[in-house]
A and B are shown apart, each in its own frame.
Chain A
């Protein structure tokens, strides 16, 4: 931070990118504050990425660490792939928010505190021995002591609202301060407040007033001597919107359904962090979306299988515990060779684990989590917005190859959001289903396309093709129940081969970098942003390091082994105990594959990744 100029005017500091973090009680409106800041910045032209960090409890007791909800956003004039490691500016609405979020603040960064919340009781409730503002423990930061609550109250005197409603405006005061600090316009948030509180103009007025008061307060106080300037990024031309991973997932399926001229049937049981897919899909019934909130996870997947059997798009989603329950039914769809899409929005486990925290530990259950020989196509999305693309591709592959697809996302992608250059429907690839044609002869439900090995599909309502299928082993071609030993072996192999051949229809693995060298950083799914940022920064510093990122997990892209063999070292980075690394080792036993893992319910930080890669480069 620079000093106030002699003439009393404040200075401006230009930055490539800045990280902000808002933290407060679950009821303080931090998610709303964060998303308003993000939206305003996106309209301004910044690239950005967000990460909401909220507790599993809906409203834990006020003032406790358990009840703290946070929202982090990184904005930049450069391409932004992660919400950032550490916050340059942290807003903490009470001592508990400070207690649980101090570790995410950069040393030397600015921390804005609502001093009105720092009374003895709250300080103790948060677990501080002494008042952290007074005991010197925050000396490494630029502390801004702002009486947010009392100033909000004073500013809103005269507005006919109860005290509780007035106090709920303090998040807008904090947002107003941030808008000043980053030289942002208040108009988008004002528009938002007008529309949100259309029916209660007093609330709209109060919130807008708090927003302005915060803005002017920040301008006045000496503790904020300079403004940050983060100019607009050079962003690819096109039409953009904000999108979160779960909404992108829902829309990707809807786009595929429209392309195929089919209805979506979404069977689902509520589970964190997948429920928002259900909420989103259930809004769009007139676009051909049927949603069933099923009685349990098993009914969710089974009803989806029924819908798919009947010729529509059968879809279900859950998180780890629910995926475990769906295993038998996924096996049925594999055996009967019925298309099905299962989304696993991964969270920390095992068992109930860490419901609101992110993890990538379900790759094993996706690959191996069913009885007997039951391979699935497995895809993984890697950014909030590319959940759209992979939901679309999951549907395409399931229906073109007549087999279930598991799409892995995670809590970090699901709730994170970013600006998205959205496509036109005409730009999306065609989806061609192997529909059975009547040729006068008896229909054979397990007759296969010679290239893909997908069976030709007849669905109820198609006259003259009545047939029976099920979970019992079936004779090739006819589908009649068969316990013949040789037939069984052949059928197991053909189902596996069908999935393997999907490799002919997916893109090859690409690397960012030279395509050969000292170190290849490998990741999959939601870690893309932090891996990409780390490798980019190291490459700028002249290091011999490339990146490859997997979206197609099973089958693997055909060039994987050949590409890997161009590197002296390969390190697979993932948020689990090394599941994908083990999978790759079993596929490519000749290669020396290292593993770098983190299991804290949190994404990788760029700092820790770079440190690890630098160590490997020393070897």
Chain B
């Protein structure tokens, strides 16, 4: 968030300060628990008073999140969270606004609001809990379900192609995209803190497991046996290395990325791509978000974090321009302006 209130003298907030008194009602084993925990760990690290946090959500399992945070919270209607959050932020730019969505909420019924929040660069943080399934309606395929997925509404397998959230973010000129995973609380907390500090719409995709309707959807990436080979943790300014011994890396071969191994065919660390999250040109970021097993690792971390003015900053400039261009400062002035006449 751009505006950080200065309240240095007050006691530091703790995880407990952000935990609400409500019984958490997600299914046992749901990935949402660890996301909630990571969030209550992240917020005390930010220098923002508790009353300035607002959690907004739409509908779905993920959308119950605000009830479990001891902050201001607004559980709205299906898919419309980004629109409500836009209004909250523009009405009071001082607030730190977090918008919680599931994959159906964000990318199906609310797809339009999702891309337009990003296009406008509203200074909010959107968290997408992506479990590739509809949970609250009990197990239909979602816009991120892989083709062929057998669900209650696709007994013969889903015929549609899935959306990749990162591609939509970049296509909508998003200024911040990070991907993390519910099995890695440390990475989640770290990314939430970074997302909060980004000016503009921060979009964090969390690969989240639905233990009931789509268990192990992200298994390829999370399995203990595979994860070193299938997770590439990127950091700005660092080479894109992965594998148990960090012996594998990504390099650009023509217009395509390829996996190479250090020491093989004369490959050394200088051949490996160095991540630049701040690069305005999104071409490489787009290539990174598309990677997935089995031929590539899944990229985790902050893929894109570029500077661009947030909507509310532009709005402030517009208000100033309006003030300069007009010759009235209140309603009485306006009522008396232009063509008026007096009947005596």
Contacts and interface: CB of A to CB of B under 8 A. Distances in A.
B318 interface: yes
28 contacts: A39-B339, A237-B343, A240-B342, A258-B331, A283-B322, A284-B334, A286-B320, A294-B116, A296-B112, A299-B112, A302-B113, A306-B83, A306-B86, A307-B90, A310-B89, A311-B91, A314-B91, A423-B335, A425-B330, A460-B53, A461-B52, A461-B92, A462-B51, A466-B50, A467-B73, A468-B74, A468-B75, A470-B66
Interface residues of A, number: 68
A172 to B, nearest CB: 19
A258 B319 CA distance: 16
Contacts of B315: 285, 290
A329 interface: yes
A370 to B, nearest CB: 12
A365 interface: no
A533 to B, nearest CB: 21
Contacts of A239: 336, 340-343
A307 B338 contact: no
Given A265-B91, A470-B66, 17 more contacts: A237-B343, A241-B335, A241-B338, A285-B322, A292-B90, A298-B83, A299-B113, A303-B84, A303-B86, A306-B74, A309-B87, A310-B88, A310-B95, A314-B87, A460-B92, A468-B73, A471-B76
B326 interface: yes
Contact of B77 (A287, A329, A422): A329
Interface residues on chain B, size class: 35 or more
B20 A460 contact: no
B338 A310 contact: no
B75 A290 contact: no
Contact of B76 (A296, A302, A308): A302
A236 interface: yes
A284 to B, nearest CB: 7
A88 to B, nearest CB: 25
Contacts of A469: 73-75
**4 smallest beta-carbon distances between A and B, as pairs:** A306-B87, A470-B75, A303-B87, A302-B83
A236 B59 CA distance: 56
A307 B315 CA distance: 15
Interface centre among A45, A304, A468 (most CB of B within 10 A): A468
B67 interface: yes
A466 B95 CA distance: 13
A524 interface: no
Contacts of A453: none
Contact of A460 (B72, B320, B342): B72
A265 B87 contact: yes
Contacts of B343: 45, 235-240, 421
B344 A328 contact: no
Contacts of A237: 343-344
B49 A463 contact: yes
Contacts of A254: 331, 334
B85 interface: yes
A311 B322 contact: no
A480 interface: yes
A312 interface: yes
Interface string B303-344: 000000000000100111111001011111011101111111
A306 B84 contact: yes
B94 interface: yes
A326 to B, nearest CB: 11
Contacts of A286: 319-320, 322-323, 326, 329
A23 B138 CA distance: 61
A583 B24 CA distance: 45
B334 A287 contact: yes
A332 interface: yes
B76 A305 contact: yes
Interface string B41-72: 00000000111111010010000001101111
A240 B84 contact: no
Contacts of A294: 83, 116
Contact of B90 (A303, A423, A463, A480): A303
B9 interface: no
B283 interface: no
A13 interface: no
A43 interface: yes
Contact of A43 (B66, B71, B336, B341): B341
Contacts of A480: 22
Contacts of A209: none
B80 interface: yes
Interface string A63-80: 000000000000000000
Nearest to A465: B51
A295 B80 CA distance: 11
A408 interface: no
A472 interface: yes
Contacts of B334: 251, 254, 284, 287
Given A284-B322, A461-B51, A295 B113 contact: yes
A285 B69 CA distance: 35
A499 interface: no
A460 B52 contact: yes
A92 interface: no
Contacts of B332: 424-425
Interface in A273-293: 283-287, 290, 292
Nearest to B86: A303
A294 B85 CA distance: 13
A464 B52 CA distance: 11
Contacts of B329: 286-287
Interface in A178-218: none
Nearest to A332: B77
A45 B323 CA distance: 34
B91 A306 contact: yes
Contacts of B50: 463, 466
B77 A306 contact: no
A242 interface: yes
Interface string B104-134: 0000000011001000000000000000000
A339 interface: no
A267 to B, nearest CB: 6
A48 to B, nearest CB: 13
A249 to B, nearest CB: 14
Interface string A226-261: 000000000111111110000000010011001000
Nearest to B80: A302
A481 interface: yes
A309 B49 contact: no
Contacts of B326: 284, 286
